[in-house]
Amino acid sequence: MTLTTLLLLIIIGLCAGVLSGLIGIGGGIIMVPMFVLFLGISQHNAQGLSLAVMLPPVTLLAVYNYHKGGEIDWKIAIIVSLMFIIGGYFGSKLALQIDQRVLKKIFGGLMLIVALKLLFSK
């Protein structure tokens, strides 16, 4: 691993972590595009890496801060988390069956829709 690659990985991780703690985003919206654009990683690999990066910490300290502030409804979090696990399993199975060029278009289209909604909503 080159020093440049190491620095890019550090920057990607810090950006994703700060944005995750600040506004609740990180994996798909930050890491996946950065892996693809700056490191030349395939879409499938970038998505897998994003999930692998989030596996150990899953923003533990950020969740702790929100919990301390009384901002987490744990019943909702547990239900959504369990469904997220199931959905993630089936979604990853499906993603691996889709050509990476098509997957990039699906990913980009979804990001565009979300961006437009955020930009033009009241």
Cα angle 27, 33, 34; round to 5 = 90
Cα angle 84, 15, 3; round to 5 = 115
Residue spans per domain, the chain: 3-120
Asked if 12 and 31 touch (Cβ cutoff 8 Å), the reply is: yes
- The pLDDT tens digits along the chain (122 residues) read 899 988 988 888 887 777 666 656 666 788 888 888 889 988 888 878 887 777 666 667 777 888 899 988 889 878 877 877 787 788 888 888 989 899 889 888 888 988 898 899 88
Asked if 51 and 28 touch (Cβ cutoff 8 Å), the reply is: no
